[in-house]
Amino acid sequence: MIRFENLTKSFWLNGEKKVVIDHLNLTLPSGKSLALLGRNGAGKSTLLQIIAGTMRPDHGRVVSDGSISWPVGLGASFHRDLSGAENVRFIARIYGVDTDDLVAFVDDFAGLGTSYDMPMRSYSSGMRSRLTFGASMGIRFDTYLVDEVTAVGDRAFRRKSREVFSARMQHSSAIMVNHSMGQVRKFCNAGVVLEGGQARYYEDLEEAIAVHEAALV
């Protein structure tokens, strides 16, 4: 379960205050793989970061009864001056998992070769996404936050990503941002539509997709 209590987040853009999440009160159930849908700029990535605790809201709070991953696909939780392997070791210590096992898993999964031991500031956005996705999949979370990452890499890597993510979804929940409705239908079984600072939960994924697509017209 993830519950938003009077959650509000705004940004200042060109001297004007833009509210992207506006006094949101909503409870998301456990055991669901949720598609987080909304137009560009609606605040989907912002909401993921607030859920993960990597961004603070203006007001309100997020309450959860389980463990939550960082937003996979976003590198904000990783230090750019450390190597990929050093970041993974640090994460393993934070989450209390076996360091050697996680380092080996990510090394094999991300396929970064010698770049694994180079500073992350030298990584392309795709390399960062592969590392962050691998590190997240190497740790068992109750809820995974996923931001577009299954589209990263070549065909073989995308297939590998889908396979490991599907395996994790046998025992965990997810909140996924993905602009491909094909990917959404493959991985998700319910939806949340974020529009105008408010979010609405839909038990029926197809209904959520229809509401989202209607709002884009």
Model confidence pLDDT, tens digit, residues 180-200:
898 899 889 999 999 999 999
- The pLDDT value recorded for residue 166 is 85
Residue-level length of the chain: 217
Task: Give bridge partners of residue 5 from the DSSP assignment.
Answer: 61
What domain range includes position 155? 2-78+141-215
Give a yes or no: residue 129 inside a domain.
no
- The pLDDT value recorded for residue 161 is 84
- Over residues 140-163, the mean pLDDT reads 80
Domain count, the chain: 1
- The pLDDT value recorded for residue 117 is 97
Q: What is the dihedral of CA 148, 72, 87, 131, to 10 degrees?
A: -40
Quick check: 4 and 26 in contact, CB under 8 A? yes
Residue 146 has pLDDT above 80, yes or no: yes
Q: Between these two residues, 149 and 102, which has the higher pLDDT value?
A: 102
Give the pair of three-digit tokens for residue 140: 């068992």
Quick check: 191 and 29 in contact, CB under 8 A? no
Give a yes or no: residue 25 inside a domain.
yes
CATH number of 175's domain: 3.40.50.300
Share of the chain above pLDDT 70, in %: 95
Q: What is the DSSP letter of 80?
A: T
Model confidence pLDDT, tens digit, residues 67-82:
999 887 655 568 999 9
- The pLDDT value recorded for residue 169 is 86
Q: Between these two residues, 150 and 14, which has the higher pLDDT value?
A: 14
- The pLDDT value recorded for residue 150 is 57
Residue 214 has pLDDT above 80, yes or no: yes
Residue whose C-alpha is closest to residue 71's, from 153, 135, 3, 166:
135
Give a yes or no: residue 152 inside a domain.
yes
Give a yes or no: residue 114 inside a domain.
no
- Over residues 103-120, the mean pLDDT reads 96
Task: Give bridge partners of residue 119 from the DSSP assignment.
Answer: 83
- The pLDDT value recorded for residue 207 is 98
What is this structure's pTM?
0.86
Residue whose C-alpha is closest to residue 10's, from 37, 38, 50, 68:
50
Query: How far is it, in rounded angstroms, from Cα 94 to Cα 198?
Result: 33
3-state secondary structure of 78: coil
- The pLDDT value recorded for residue 2 is 95
Residue 102 has pLDDT above 90, yes or no: yes
Residue type, 86: E
Task: Calculate the average pLDDT of the chain.
Answer: 91
Give a yes or no: residue 48 inside a domain.
yes
Model confidence pLDDT, tens digit, residues 12-63:
988 899 999 999 999 999 889 999 999 998 999 999 999 999 899 999 999 9
- The pLDDT value recorded for residue 151 is 55
- At which residue do the structure tokens 């996923």 appear? 146
